[in-house]
Amino acid sequence: MGERLNGVLLLGFGGPEGPEGVEAFMTRLMKGRKPPPVITKVQARYRQIGGKSPLLEITRAQAAALEARLNQLGGSWKVAVGMSNSAPYIEEGLKELIAAGAGQVIALSISPHYSRITTGAYLAEVDRLKEQFSCPVIPAPAWYDHPLFIAALAARGREQLQDFERPEEVELIFSAHSLPVSYVSGSEADPYQEQVEVTARALAAHFPANPWTLAYQSKGGGQGEWLGPEVEEVLEQLAAKGKKDVLLIPIGFAADHIETLYDIDIEQANHARSLGLNFRRARAVNDLPLFISALAEVVTEVMKR
């Protein structure tokens, strides 16, 4: 009789792969309501990054690398991808693992920091679906402070830092996705902001010579206050102080997608250049082996419980 198969469901927000998928994606986000006219702007952004987002391709590469690493460490493993708002959906990922014979599934969010609209929503969907299946589904904890994740972020930062003439004088910006302040305050506050700050401080320890600032990006519309400062504000403050060299390290994203390739590489980079700054961005951790090892350790720790 063969060894029992363990499953890992890699959970993500999802997103359209290109301009043609934007309307369907936003309709799902709005729970069937007609999406606003802003979709034409979003479609234009996808065209400006080459007409395609690499998010799903990168997430599948992460899943394949994680599966290989777990099997290397021992046991029998299969890793599938399940997205909250685009194919392959969470239900499809679960069905794939069950069909493969998984005796249990570990639900692992690819979002480093916990928020009710990311990891919380993914796990709620898993919880809703798991009644359909006989196999147990175990949620993995957030991994925002895992030493290997922090080391992977630092490695990505060093890739770019070495290209500056005076690396030790480069101003660092650590960026994460903004959220409404109402989400991180009150009796039911998400731990999101606190976790982001822990990641930032841990990463800063890898660059003791460099001044750094935590900033937020890609905030949505609507009323109410959002987490700040925004990246654009920080760029303006640095330029006003006479700083020249700036490296942005995205700490809130595990994969490059529209919010790194457009929001940072086009919008923020153009703003930085208009201020006279020499601006660069570190790549997301993507399928960097250090990062995959971090995820593998998170999974194996769950198995030890």
Start-end of H helices in the chain: 22-29, 39-48, 55-73, 90-99, 119-129, 147-161, 192-204, 231-240, 258-261, 269-274, 289-303
- Is 96 annotated for ligand binding? no
Nearest to 13 by CA among 122, 112, 105: 122
Nearest to 176 by CA among 118, 243, 122: 118
- Is 185 annotated for ligand binding? no
Please give the Cα distance from 67 to 295 (Å, whole number).
10
- Is 113 annotated for ligand binding? no
Nearest to 277 by CA among 154, 175, 171: 171
- Is 177 annotated for ligand binding? yes
- Is 271 annotated for ligand binding? no
Amino acid of residue 48:
Q
Please give the Cα distance from 86 to 83 (Å, whole number).
6
71 CB contacts (<8 Å, ≥6 apart)? 77
Question: Are 125 and 9 spatial neighbours (Cβ–Cβ below 8 Å)?
Answer: no
Q: Tell me the pairing of strands 212-217 and 137-139.
A: unpaired
- Is 301 annotated for ligand binding? no
Question: Are 85 and 25 spatial neighbours (Cβ–Cβ below 8 Å)?
Answer: yes
186 CB contacts (<8 Å, ≥6 apart)? none
Residue 117: exposure state from Cβ atoms within 10 A (0-12, 13-18, ≥19): middle
- Residues forming the annotated binding site for Fe-coproporphyrin III? 45-46, 53, 122
- Residues forming the annotated binding site? 45-46, 53, 122, 177, 259
- Residues forming the annotated binding site for Fe(2+)? 177, 259
